Structure 1
Amino acid sequence: MSSSFESAHSSPSSPAAGPAEEPTLRSIGRLFPYLWEFRGRVLVALALLIGAKLASVAVPLVLKEIIDALDKPRPELVLPLAFILGYGVLRFASTTFADLRDVIFAKVTQRAMRRISMAVFKHLHALSLRFHLERQTGGITRDIERGSKAMSSLVGYLLFRITPTVLEILLVAGILFVKLDWVFGVLTLVTLAAYIGFTVTITEWRTQFVRRANTLDSQAYGRAIDSLLNYETVKYFGNEKYEAQRYDSSLIEWEDMALKSQRSLGYLNAAQAGVIAIGVTLMVLRAADGVVEGTLTLGDLVMVNAFLLQMFQPLSFLGVMYRQIKESITDVERMFTLLHRPREVEDAPDARELDVVAGEVTFDHVSFAYNADRPILHDVSFTIPAGKTVAAVGSSGAGKSTLARLLFRFYDTGSGSIRIDGQDIRHVTQDSLRAAIGVVPQDTVLFNDSIYYNIAYGRPDASRDEVIEAARAAHILHFIEGLPQGWDSIVGERGLKLSGGEKQRVAIARTLLKNPAILILDEATSALDTKTEKAIQAELLEIAKSRTSLIIAHRLSTVVEADEILVMEAGRIVERGRHPELLALNGMYAHMWALQQQAEEGGGK
């Protein structure tokens, strides 16, 4: 097989681990379509929010009337009692409206989280093989996890914390300006402006530490996951300490950024506390002076104090909310960066379904390069007639596996075209193309689930009898039935509980279950012992007779029955023909055959 490192192109850094875009309000705008699906609930929740704040602002006003009514030589009981009852109703309303708002809006947030998570998940599957060869799994999963949670936080803080707090402050400032004098209104707004100014300035400065800490967190998490996925390789080379050092180097830098973030948080809290203390003190002094001079009543003083307590309590969390919003925007932006990453291979706007009539495959003057400075294929042309088998052989790196990847349209050709029954595969939908092609790869990766699930994955709607028949055809049924848990046996992460040969037979079984019109065997029996290989080769050749087949092979003994053999070297077809014809040429194929025969004879001694 052409080494998978034919694809080790482009940047070595993980897309997920790179720096996120500068967080902007654009992220909030991107959330709007997901929230507006339940516009009725959104509007009701906003109405309840406004109702809760109006009731909350009315509480100090009623409290003032109660105090003033009682602050008389002979107070009447009826009037204060009415205000006291009103006070209780308003308190209840402000709390109840807020709770109802959360209940009504919960479905909006949860559905939006679900839809965005699904959109990112589907988009990641739609991205090219190039992206997935470069990505760092741990970093991406971390970004998606943080992004989903951040979306919920962002909506909650903006709609139900910031908006009502600002609304309440403006209402309070207006009431104080109208009912008392302009100084109270000005003091309220100045205190608010100073508080917001300090909060925004210091938070903007410290956001760089937060963002960098998140990036390093994703990198460290990605390294840890990558190391654990390659557990056996780490053990083979005794590199446990090396892996721990790499992981710790990421954590050391993350620790430094986290400490800077924590210190800057302390500065911000001190600045916020100072602004609130100064503003509250000035307003209480002004109110007390008014009571002494007789321009304000005792009820006015109580009202001002109640407003300040009521207003600055949520305001004291404004810094935390602003920081959370900034961090949430950063996380949401990283998630949307993934969502809006362009697809390398796209369906054409007028793409139609592939119509497989016979299954003839044609490569017409195909050239291709993973990177512009490293061409892989050079003007490759050949045809696989319907129902025939063509094999591609050659040394590692000759471009054999690239043929399979281009036919499956993991990449588009640089020049030339690939056609199936005369239809250019760039002009048909990827779903219909891939539904017509079955692939048995050399490096088989299985899901951490049961053997039954992994074979049935070839066609999830297949009946149990069809799954069993596919396992029988792949010569793995006896092995499965001999396991203690039988079909329910879990194969482990990436199938690590099975041997290479067992994994390969599972891969063959699920491809047979798919029942494709075109078959690609990419070193499909390379991991099997000689006896099993011969048995499966006979079965595969029988299956290939009714399908158009492309066999990628290094071991020439597996392709001697092919209708045509393509000998590749440095991305070009240097010889072609049937096995006897190529041996008669006494060229590159004959030389490879002789070497392999000698190796097999030597191994048998």
Structure 2
Amino acid sequence: MSDSPKTKGFRATERIEGQGGGPGRGGPMGGGMVAQKAMNFGPSARRLVARLRPERTRAIGVVGLGLVSVVLMSLGPRILGHATDLVFAGLFGKRLPAGLTQAEAVQALRARGQDKLADTLSGMKHVVPGQGVDFTAVGHVLLWVLAIYAVASLLGWLQGFLLNGVVQNTVRAMRQDVEDKINRLPLGYFDSSPRGELLSRVTNDIDNISQSLQQTMSQLLTSLMTVVAVLAMMLWISPLLALIALVSVPVSIYVTRAIMKRSQGQYVAQWRTTGQLNGQIEEAFSGHALVKVFNRTEEVERRFAEQNEQLYRVSFGAQFVSGLIMPAMMFIGNLNYVVIAVVGALRVSSGALTLGEVQAFVQYTRQFTQPLTTVASMMNLLQSGVASAERVFELLDADEEPADPPASADAAPGRGEVAFEHVSFSYDHDRPLIEDLSLVARPGQTVAIVGPTGAGKTTLVNLVMRFYDVDGGRITVDGVDITTIPRAELRGRIGMVLQDTWLFGGTIRDNIAYGRPGASEEDVLAAARATFVDRFVHSLPEGYDTVIDEDGSNLSAGERQLVTIARAFLTDPALLILDEATSSVDTRTELLVQQAMAALRSDRTSFVIAHRLSTIRDADLILVMEDGAIVEQGSHEELLAAEGAYARLYQSQFAGATT
């Protein structure tokens, strides 16, 4: 039963207790999806990094450990270069005549016309003519290198340990923020968002953010610090070779940016399409029985195949385009390596550099290009994570319900008098639904609301519950404007039973007690007996401890309805709202439940929305609604005598029974 405008396509109250969809879902066989507008990569990435601020102490520790580790790792090649110089000096010195100094050996080589060897010898250190390799000195150098690398590795492990805490605490806080945000969002947001799409943001996107941060932060930090440290060492060894190495940096940045610009949009589309596919799958599973009944399996499979194919295309495009970064960076790095190797060899032959220095520089070249390549290879993960962050930030930035006013003495519980004073409301401002509606429901009255689908019946109770706020006029409960009452306090006075049941995975006892936390066992059993839940519970193997499936499939539709009615009984509300509450029970049970409800409604205001007019004959006041307006009101007998809209509805329902 839907009383919202057709553009809404779904009752807001069903979002609270039902399993329905919303605009954009379109039922089990179709529906549009929420459009996504991609934000810029830079602002989204900065906003994601800003969420690490609460973990700044650990983050500083991560940076400090990484810095020390990188410095130690950067010293390794320079010290190994010294070991190479010792070995090369020993091999070269062994070929020279003993008893000469290094300077005398250089002069002797020049005298024989061996200028190249003389230049090389003049640039070498630790050469003793006639003496071979000093393996003791080489061993000491290697032990130093081993110790440095061991300490650097230990610090790297500690860095990873701290970083894991930073990332997981940040993601945990983000999940909590999303949960809090969902509780502050107005019902209209859920009406306009496919449920699977929302679930995808809360689960898939946040998990992807976690994985992206975990895999990229450590490597990005280490890589950037490595570039700086290695560049310093390269400048120390040879400014000329360092300048050659630096030429590759702007080229790499240009190539990376060009590829990223194309792949970022693909990643946004990938996660948007993932959310759409999740929404479609959830919709098909929820409406599985309906799909089978109407033989629409092939169409559902076709739509799934189309959406799956679309996800394949955008995912392939995102991974392929982003995957071009690393091969491009490796190509640039290899070209740079070749140039440095050639120039370095010429510098050794001229005596400007030692062989160990060139060897160290070649290692630094690899260490310099490797972080750039690593950063480039991480871009696909980083872009994917930022794309997911954009979607989560869109949820966090959604407009919230207006803040509740502080509780006041004027908002104390009363007897449940409800008054609509010149109320106007519309879901779509271009299509008014309710205009200048006024009515008063006295304490103890049972007010029945009837009318055709789309007349606005459920909208009235949505407004009383403040699922939506009125556009004009006001609604009062016991003389107090409901906008001045905190929503939780207002809804705590109201008991509501919907046509579409909502039960969670738990025992029957737990589902009944959900209506009033802390209720005693006696109160729960009393509510169950009053609503005749007790009658069928004893036929179950575990009685009240019987565990209900999440969709309540192990209970009949009528039994599920009785449990929700018992839940409302337990709340002992001042105001009772029954939206086709007995539509799923058999005729005999309906009569028994109506008797129990008559006792419950004593001295309480009750709104009963009904299509079966036989269930509201005894109502104190019957409101007949059409197009958001009350066209008739009165008792059952008065409205029949008037031979108006109510009489036509009544006759249309019972015409078949009288022929």
What range describes the TM-score normalised by the shorter chain of this pair? over 0.9
Q: Distance in 1 between matches of 2:32 and 2:522?
A: 43
Q: Distance in 2 between matches of 1:217 and 1:148?
A: 13
Match of 1:150 in 2: 208
Match of 1:12 in 2: 24
Match of 1:436 in 2: 493
Label 1:486 to 1:5 Cα distance change in 2 as closer, same or farther (>3 A): farther
Q: Distance in 1 between matches of 2:447 and 2:549?
A: 35
What is the letter of the counterpart of residue 95 of structure 1? Answer: S
SS of equivalent residue, structure 2 residue 585: coil
**How big is each residue's C-alpha offset from its partner over 1:148-184, in whole Å with a ceiling of 9 and x where there is no partner?**
123324434554222321221122222212222x222
Label 1:326 to 1:416 Cα distance change in 2 as closer, same or farther (>3 A): same
TM-score (norm 2): 0.85
Label 1:128 to 1:512 Cα distance change in 2 as closer, same or farther (>3 A): same
Q: Distance in 2 between matches of 1:501 and 1:374?
A: 37
**How big is each residue's C-alpha offset from its partner over 1:285-312, in whole Å with a ceiling of 9 and x where there is no partner?**
2222222222111211221122233333
The correspondence of residues 119-518 of structure 1 with structure 2, limited to 5 A, is: 119-156=177-214, 159-180=217-238, 182-265=239-322, 267-343=324-400, 345-348=401-404, 354-518=411-575
SS of equivalent residue, structure 1 residue 131: helix
Match of 1:64 in 2: 81
RMSD of Structure 2 on Structure 1 (CA): 2.6
**Quick check: 1:40 aligned with 2:57?**
yes
Structure showing greater radius of gyration is: 2
Match of 2:105 in 1: none
TM-score (norm 1): 0.92
Q: Distance in 2 between matches of 1:594 and 1:260?
A: 62
Q: 1:381 Cα shift?
A: 0.9
Q: 1:107 Cα shift?
A: 2.2
**How big is each residue's C-alpha offset from its partner over 1:17-55, in whole Å with a ceiling of 9 and x where there is no partner?**
422422423333433554222332222122111111111
Label 1:586 to 1:211 Cα distance change in 2 as closer, same or farther (>3 A): closer
Aligned partners of 1:360 and 1:548 also within 8 Å: yes
Identity across aligned pairs (percent)?
Answer: 30
**Quick check: 1:556 aligned with 2:631?**
no
Q: Distance in 2 between matches of 1:86 and 1:156?
A: 32
Equivalent in 567, 578, 581 of residue 524 of structure 1: 581
Worse-superposed segment, 163-172 or 413-422: 163-172
The correspondence of residues 65-84 of structure 1 with structure 2, limited to 5 A, is: 65-73=82-90, 74=131, 76=134, 79-84=137-142
What is the letter of the counterpart of residue 155 of structure 1? Answer: L
**How big is each residue's C-alpha offset from its partner over 1:217-276, in whole Å with a ceiling of 9 and x where there is no partner?**
322222122111100110110111110001111122223333434543554343222101
What is the letter of the counterpart of residue 347 of structure 1? Answer: A
Q: Distance in 2 between matches of 1:466 and 1:29?
A: 54
Label 1:446 to 1:574 Cα distance change in 2 as closer, same or farther (>3 A): same
Match of 2:14 in 1: none
Q: Distance in 1 between matches of 2:279 and 2:188?
A: 18
Q: Distance in 2 between matches of 1:33 and 1:486?
A: 52
Q: Distance in 2 between matches of 1:186 and 1:547?
A: 86
Q: Distance in 2 between matches of 1:269 and 1:341?
A: 37
Match of 2:110 in 1: none
Label 1:15 to 1:185 Cα distance change in 2 as closer, same or farther (>3 A): farther
**Quick check: 1:28 aligned with 2:29?**
no
Q: Distance in 1 between matches of 2:532 and 2:43?
A: 56
What is the letter of the counterpart of residue 9 of structure 2? Answer: A
Q: Distance in 2 between matches of 1:445 and 1:30?
A: 38
Aligned partners of 1:386 and 1:547 also within 8 Å: yes
What is the letter of the counterpart of residue 421 of structure 1? Answer: D
**Quick check: 1:117 aligned with 2:175?**
yes
What is the letter of the counterpart of residue 446 of structure 1? Answer: L
Q: Distance in 2 between matches of 1:268 and 1:32?
A: 23
Q: Distance in 1 between matches of 2:246 and 2:32?
A: 45
Q: Distance in 2 between matches of 1:112 and 1:473?
A: 49
Label 1:473 to 1:170 Cα distance change in 2 as closer, same or farther (>3 A): same
Aligned partners of 1:147 and 1:331 also within 8 Å: yes
How many positions carry a matched residue from both structures?
Answer: 600
Equivalent in 614, 626, 629 of residue 572 of structure 1: 629
Q: Distance in 1 between matches of 2:321 and 2:397?
A: 33
Label 1:500 to 1:254 Cα distance change in 2 as closer, same or farther (>3 A): same
Q: Distance in 2 between matches of 1:33 and 1:194?
A: 30
Label 1:105 to 1:560 Cα distance change in 2 as closer, same or farther (>3 A): same
Aligned partners of 1:441 and 1:522 also within 8 Å: yes
Q: Distance in 2 between matches of 1:186 and 1:150?
A: 39
Q: Distance in 2 between matches of 1:155 and 1:266?
A: 19
SS of equivalent residue, structure 1 residue 561: coil
Worse-superposed segment, 443-452 or 548-557: 443-452
**How big is each residue's C-alpha offset from its partner over 1:186-232, in whole Å with a ceiling of 9 and x where there is no partner?**
12222232222212211221333333233223222221221111001
What is the letter of the counterpart of residue 426 of structure 1? Answer: T
Q: 1:436 Cα shift?
A: 1.6
Q: Distance in 2 between matches of 1:38 and 1:256?
A: 38
Q: 1:520 Cα shift?
A: 0.7
Worse-superposed segment, 22-31 or 440-449: 22-31
Q: Distance in 2 between matches of 1:489 and 1:242?
A: 38
Match of 1:100 in 2: 158
Worse-superposed segment, 583-592 or 505-514: 583-592
Q: Distance in 1 between matches of 2:210 and 2:69?
A: 21
Q: Distance in 1 between matches of 2:408 and 2:242?
A: 66
Aligned partners of 2:503 and 2:550 also within 8 Å: yes
The correspondence of residues 578-593 of structure 1 with structure 2, limited to 5 A, is: 578-593=635-650
SS of equivalent residue, structure 2 residue 519: coil
Q: 1:77 Cα shift?
A: 5.6
Label 1:160 to 1:240 Cα distance change in 2 as closer, same or farther (>3 A): same
Q: Distance in 2 between matches of 1:140 and 1:574?
A: 39
Structure 2: segments with no counterpart, 5+ residues: 11-21, 26-30, 91-130
Aligned partners of 2:220 and 2:375 also within 8 Å: yes
Match of 2:97 in 1: none
SS of equivalent residue, structure 2 residue 450: strand
Q: Distance in 2 between matches of 1:379 and 1:511?
A: 31
Q: Distance in 1 between matches of 2:657 and 2:521?
A: 40
SS of equivalent residue, structure 1 residue 418: strand
**How big is each residue's C-alpha offset from its partner over 1:320-367, in whole Å with a ceiling of 9 and x where there is no partner?**
211211121111111111111112x32256675842233221111112
